[in-house]
Amino acid sequence: MIKLKQIVEAGVFDAPDVGGAATGEEATEDPKSNMAVKKFDMLLKGKPGWEKVKELVLKMSDIKQADFISYLMTDAGVGETAKKKLKLKL
């Protein structure tokens, strides 16, 4: 089984530099085209526990959803570079 740390080390979070990135075009990019998203989906596809988590998160308030995402990033050991890239996309 592939671990999240291996995915990060493989560089799947690195996005190629695109000439139009500064114009906000990256915000319209299909998230399913991201290699990290594809690998994450492959790992968790059909897992009943993950499906339950998604159901529960949808029922949370916006603040609790943000706190949960922050918890997941901290628990997974997401690096500062990935956090900075995420902030840019938000």
Report pLDDT digits (tens) over 37-87.
888 888 888 888 888 988 999 999 999 999 998 998 899 898 999 888 888
Tell me what the mean pLDDT of segment 9-21 comes to: 47
- pLDDT confidence of residue 19: 42
Tell me what the mean pLDDT of segment 20-42 comes to: 65
One-character DSSP codes across 35-53: HHHHHHHHHHTT-HHHHHH
Angle at 66 between CA 9 and CA 83, to 5 degrees: 30
Confidence of residue 5 (pLDDT cuts 50, 70, 90): low
Token representation of residue 58:
């949808």
